[in-house]
Structures are given as C-alpha cells and as structure tokens.
C-alpha cells in the first residue's frame, strides 16, 4: 500500500514464500492488534490476527507474482496498515509503465478476491453456507450461517472474507498511493500523456475527500476519515508540487 521502507529492526520477522523474501515489521502486528481491539475474547483476537496476516500477505503475493512474470525479483515488506512489494534490483531498477504496471497493480486485489472465491467454494463443498453482502460504498457484511469446525475457526473464515474483500475494494479506489491510484495514472496517462498524471491526482484528491466523508458518516470510523483525509492531503501536495493548481 504505502511504498516507503520503514527500516529494519531487531524484531523483524523474516522468511521466504515461493522464493519471495518477506519481512514483517513490528508495527504491522501493532496495527493489527489495534484494528482487532473489538474482539470479545483472546480466541477471536487470534483469529483476527491470523486473518489480517494471511489476507495482506496474499495481496502482496499477488503483486509479487505479477512482478516476477515481468522479469523482476520482488520482495515483500508488511508493516503498518498493509505493506508494499518492491521490484528488487535496488534504487536504479526501471519500473514498468503502461499495461505492465496496470497488471501488477491489479494483481494484489485480484489475489485477495481469488482467495475469497476459493474459501467460498471450499465451504460450500463442505456443506456450509456463507452470506456475503457488499453494499456501496464498500459496506461489506460477512456471515457464516453455521459454525465451521469451531466458533474460533468460523471467526477466522469471516475475518478472511471481510479483509480480502474490503481491502481489495478499497485498494481499487483511484487514490494515491493505492493500487487504484496507480491504475488511474496509467490509464489517464495513456489517454492524455501531457495531462494524465495531473488528472489522476485531481481524481485522487476528490475521491479521497469523498471517502473521508463516507468513512466518518457511513462507516462511523474516525480512523478511516483521518486516513482518507491524509491521502487527500498527499494528492493535493503532489498536485501542487507538479504545478497543477489549475482546476
């Protein structure tokens, strides 16, 4: 999500999956705990943390798989509210533009949606029923109608569905530096090479402001309102820096 390296710590968790190096920053766990603070018991909190880790990792692995398909050597860093996948090769690597960049950006949400689809099929084949309702803008409601294995496991399934769907939808918003913001820049840049970046920043600013209002009014989430407000500020600052004060 946010492609800024937080720096290494002695508390980092390091491992590799599918030959992709993964580093988990301590702040990732802290944010996960804060987001799961409404859990009613330790088992529910543990289920949330597992789902948070798996869903975000799958999202970043989607980016990594697409990068590898284009010949890069990606690595993943999980921290804060999400993480980012770097192209590898150091600061001098040439990042792709156009269609390859769109594919790489879309691969993260697509991986999450694929995980949700696999879960839905597996649960249906096991004879259980899951109700999924997605309202606009992004009111996601997941309900496992029957207990799958145990209440804790049912919580894990519900959390996985919620995070993969909600995180994927939010990331597709045309807001910098989310995946949708990257896609919007490439699409608008292809339409108008001279104005595409400025247009995408204007779209990012307006969308972020609207989502800040939605987060505060509909989601009743002060955290979400602050987050999108900050993203709106980033877009405005980038627009001003590029001389895009003409609206």
Question: What is the per-residue pLDDT for 2?
Answer: 52
Question: What is the per-residue pLDDT for 118?
Answer: 93
Closest-CA residue to 53 (of 86, 24, 75): 24
The boundaries of the domain holding residue 191 are 174-247
Q: How far, in Å, CA of 133 to CA of 55, rounded? A: 19
Report the domain count for the chain.
Answer: 1
Question: What is the per-residue pLDDT for 147?
Answer: 58
The mean of the pLDDT values for the chain is 87
pTM listed for this prediction: 0.89
List the alpha helices (DSSP H) in the chain.
26-35, 42-69, 99-125, 151-171, 179-191, 196-217, 222-241
Say if 199 falls within a structural domain. yes
Say if 197 falls within a structural domain. yes
- pLDDT tens-digit series, residues 2-51: 556 778 889 999 999 999 999 999 999 999 999 888 888 898 999 999 99
Q: How far, in Å, CA of 64 to CA of 76, rounded? A: 8
Say if 205 falls within a structural domain. yes
Question: What is the per-residue pLDDT for 136?
Answer: 57
Say if 186 falls within a structural domain. yes
- pLDDT tens-digit series, residues 100-119: 999 999 999 999 999 999 98
Say if 20 falls within a structural domain. no
Of 80-89, 102-111, 206-215, give the lowest mean pLDDT range: 80-89
């Amino acid at each position: 999500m946010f492609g800024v390296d937080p720096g290494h710590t002695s508390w980092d968790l390091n491992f590799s999956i599918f030959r992709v190096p993964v580093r988990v920053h301590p702040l990732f766990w802290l944010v996960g705990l804060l987001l799961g603070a409404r859990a009613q018991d330790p088992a529910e909190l543990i289920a949330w943390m597992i789902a948070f880790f798996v869903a975000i990792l799958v999202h970043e692995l989607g980016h990594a798989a697409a990068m590898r398909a284009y010949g890069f050597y990606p690595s993943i860093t999980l921290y804060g509210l999400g993480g980012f996948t770097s192209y590898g090769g150091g600061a001098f690597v040439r990042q792709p533009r156009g269609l390859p960049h769109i594919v790489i950006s879309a691969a993260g949400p697509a991986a999450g949606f694929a995980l949700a689809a696999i879960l839905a099929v597996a649960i249906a084949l096991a004879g259980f029923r899951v109700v999924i309702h997605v309202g606009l803008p992004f009111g996601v409601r997941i309900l496992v109608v029957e207990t799958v294995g145990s209440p804790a496991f049912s919580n894990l399934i519900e959390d996985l569905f919620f995070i993969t769907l909600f995180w994927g939808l939010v990331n597709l918003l045309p807001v910098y530096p989310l995946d949708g913001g990257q896609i919007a820049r490439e699409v608008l840049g292809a339409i108008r090479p001279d104005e595409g970046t400025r247009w995408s920043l204007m779209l990012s600013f307006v969308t972020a402001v609207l989502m800040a209002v939605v987060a505060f009014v509909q989601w009743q989430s002060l955290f979400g309102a602050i987050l999108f407000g900050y993203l709106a500020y980033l877009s405005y600052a980038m627009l001003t820096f590029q001389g895009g004060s003409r609206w």
